Chains A and B, each alone.
Chain A
Amino acid sequence: MKLKKKIPLIDQVSKSGFWGNKFGGNFVPETLKKPIEDLEIQFNKLKKDKKFISERNRYFKNWIGSPTRFIKLEKLTNHIGGAQIWSKVVSDANGGAHKVYNATVHCLLAKRSGKKIICGDTGAGYAGKMLSMAAKKFGLKCKIFMGAKDIARQQPNVKAIKKNGAEVIPVYSGSQTLVDAVSECMRFWVANCDTTAMCVGSTVGPAIFVRICGWSTSQISRELKVQLIDEFGSVPKKLKLYNCVGGGSSSFGFWNEFMDYDKKQCEFIGVEAGGPAKSKKHAAPLTYGSKIGILHGAAQYVNQDSDGQIEETESISAGLDYPGVSPLHCFLKDTKRARYTAASDEEALNAFKTVTKYEELRPSLEPSHAFSVAIKEAKRLSKDTIVVVNSCGDAYKDRGILEKRLGKKYVKSN
C-alpha cells in the first residue's frame, strides 16, 4: 500500500471505490447502485469543470467567508514554552464549522441534478446546521437525521437547524447517536432516491461521498498553505498539523494540500475521542487497533465485536462519537503518512480550559481533543516548530455540557 504523489488522495481510488484495495468500496443495497453511479458521473465531470469550480469558489468566498483566520496563539505559546502554537480558525466559517464546505458542494450538486429535497445525518449538529443553511440558500427542502441522545446534548444546533426551516428527524434506534443517524439517513435515501439527494456529513459512507466531502473540506488546507507562505515566506521546515478525527472530514481537509510533503517536514497528527477516562468505550478505532469491518457502505477500521456487530461508542463530543473512521484515514494510517492518538473526555475539557484561559478562542469539544495533544507535545518541541491546530468548531453548541462539567463561568462569555 503506497501513497502516490501528485494525485489527490480522493482520486487514488480504484474503479470499485477502494483505497489501497482495502478501505472504502460500495457495500450498498442494489437500489442505491444507480443513484451512486449517477452522482459519481456528475462529480467526476464537475470537478474538472472550470465554471463549476469558480461557482464553488464564489460561494466559499462570499457566502462562507473564506479564508478563515490563521492566528498565532501568542499567550498560549508563552505559557507552554515550547513550539509556536497557531490555530486555523475554521469556526469563523459561516455557521461556525467546516461542515459548511461539504454541505454547500452537495447542495450545488443536488441543484444541478434537479433534486428538490436533500437529506443528511448529523452528530454534533453542525453537519445538519450547515446542510439546512445551505439548503435554504439554494431553495432545497431539507431533512436532518439526528440521534435522540445528540438532540438532547446539542440543543443550540438543533434550534438552528429548525430555524433554517429543516425538519429534524429524531433517531431512536441503537445508541441514538451519529452511527444510527447515518443508518437512518441511508435508509431514507434507499426509499426516496428518485427525488432526494443525500449528503453524508463526513468523509465516510460509500466511496463517492468520501471523495466529495474530502474535495470540499480541502479548502481548509488550500487557504492554510497560502497563509503559511504569507507568514513565513515558505511552508515551514518543521510543521505539525493537529486535528481531531471522528469521521475525519476536517482533518482530511486540513492536511490534503500538504500530502506530498515529507512527513519529517510536515507531520499530520489525528486525535480521536478516547471517551471518559474511566470507561472502556471509546470512539478511537485507529488508536486502539480496531479490526477492519464494514460500516455504512465502506470497509474501514471500526469498533465491533467478534461477530461483526458494531459496538457502541462513548465520547463527550457528539461530533467524534462514531465507531468507524474515514477510509482515507485508514489509508493514511496504514501508509504511515499520519499519526493517530486519542484524548479522553477529561483531557479535552482541560485543554478547553487552558485555551480559553489564555486566548480569545473558544474551540468546541471536538477540536479541544486536538488542542489537548498539541499542548502536551508542544512543550517538548523546539521554538522553531510550528504547531497548527484546526479549531474546526465553536463551543457555543457545547454550552450545556460545559456548564455541567466545568461550571457556569465557562459559558457566560457566549
Chain B
Amino acid sequence: MLNPISAAFKKAKQENRAALLTYTVAGDSSKKKSLEILKSISKDVDILEVGVPHNTPVADGSQIQTSAYRSIKNGIKMNDIFKIVKDFKKSNKYKPIILMGYFNMILQYGENNFLNKCNSSGVNGLIVVDLPWPENKNFAKKCKKKSIYFIQLLSPTTTKIRLKKIIKDSHPMNYFISMLSTTGGKLKVSPNNILKNYNKIKKIDPKKEIVIGFGITEKTIGKLKSADGLVVGSAICKEISKSLKYRQNPVTNVNKLVKKLKSKIL
C-alpha cells in the first residue's frame, strides 16, 4: 500500500495545488483539545505534523516554545502522544501523520520501541530536528523497514554536494527550511528567492516531494504555492495562545485559520 504521505501528495497534485501541512504540538492546549484540533482541521489539511514537545528545543522560536512548555506543564508524556495519534487514526485512518521532535525523546524511548509504537499507533513519518544526515543514516534505515518515512531537512546553508548526498539517501519526502531562522521567524527572504532555492533542490531529484516550512503565514503562503507542499506551524501555535488569552475556543479559531490558509493555495 502506498504510504498515506505519498497518497496525500498525489491527491494534491491531481487537484493541481500544493499540499497543506500543519504543525501543532501534541497536548496543546490540552490532550483533549489537541486531538479535537487535529480532528477539526483534518478535512482541510493534507498532512498533519504533530510536534513532540521538548524542553530544550534548539531550533524552535517563541511560538512553538510556548506551546511546547504549555503542553509539558500539562503533563504530556510520550505515551500520551502516541495515544492522541491512535485516537485520531480511529476515525481518520488514511490521513497521514508525521511526528516531529528532538532525538533525545526517541533515544530514551528506545529507537526500536519508538518505531514499533509509531507503527501500532499509525504514525507515517518522522522529522527529527537534531539528527542530521549522515548521523541519521541508521535510524532512517530502521524507519524504512517499518514503512515510516524519515524526512530529511534541507537548509539554505546545506551545500550543493551535501544536498545531492542527502537527497540520494532520502525517502520520498523532504523538508526545505525557507531561511536562516528558528521556527516562526519573520520571512526575511523574498518568496521568489525561496522558490529559486526550492527549484534548485527539486531539480536534483524531481520525484522527491519537497515541502517548504519556517516563516509561512497567511500572508506569505499564497506566494509559495507552486511548491509540492507548505508547512504552517508557528502561526497556528500563536493562534492557540491568542485564543487562550482571550478565552476563546482554540479549536474553532484554529479551524478558521486553516480554512483561510487553504483558500490561499487553491
Q: Residues on A close to B: CB < 8 A? A: 16, 25-35, 173-174, 179-180, 183, 186-187, 190-194, 291, 293-297, 304, 306-310
Contacts and interface: CB of A to CB of B under 8 A. Distances in A.
Interface stretch (B11-19, B101-109, B231-239, B258-266): B101-109
A31 B155 contact: yes
Contact of B58 (A25, A186, A193, A304): A186
Contacts of A35: 157
Interface stretch (B124-132, B191-199, B216-224): B124-132
A182 to B, nearest CB: 8
Given A29-B153, A33-B162, A190 B107 contact: no
B59 A190 contact: yes
B60 A173 contact: no
18 contacts: A27-B131, A29-B59, A30-B152, A31-B155, A34-B155, A34-B157, A34-B158, A179-B56, A183-B57, A190-B58, A191-B185, A193-B157, A194-B180, A294-B104, A297-B130, A306-B108, A307-B105, A309-B72
Given A307-B78, A309-B72, A293 B108 contact: yes
**Interface of B: prevailing SS:** loop
Nearest to A185: B58
A180 B180 CA distance: 21
Q: Say which size band chain B's interface belongs to.
A: 35 or more
B108 A304 contact: yes
A187 B157 contact: no
Nearest to A16: B135
A190 B182 contact: yes
A191 B181 CA distance: 4
A323 to B, nearest CB: 9
A414 to B, nearest CB: 35
Closest 10 CB pairs of A and B: A308-B108, A34-B157, A31-B155, A294-B104, A308-B104, A29-B59, A30-B153, A27-B130, A308-B105, A30-B155
Given A27-B135, A186-B58, A33 B104 contact: no
A28 B158 contact: no
A309 B74 CA distance: 14
B180 A31 contact: yes
A30 B163 CA distance: 11
B89 interface: no
Contacts of A294: 102-104, 107, 130
Given A294-B107, A308-B105, A29 B69 contact: no
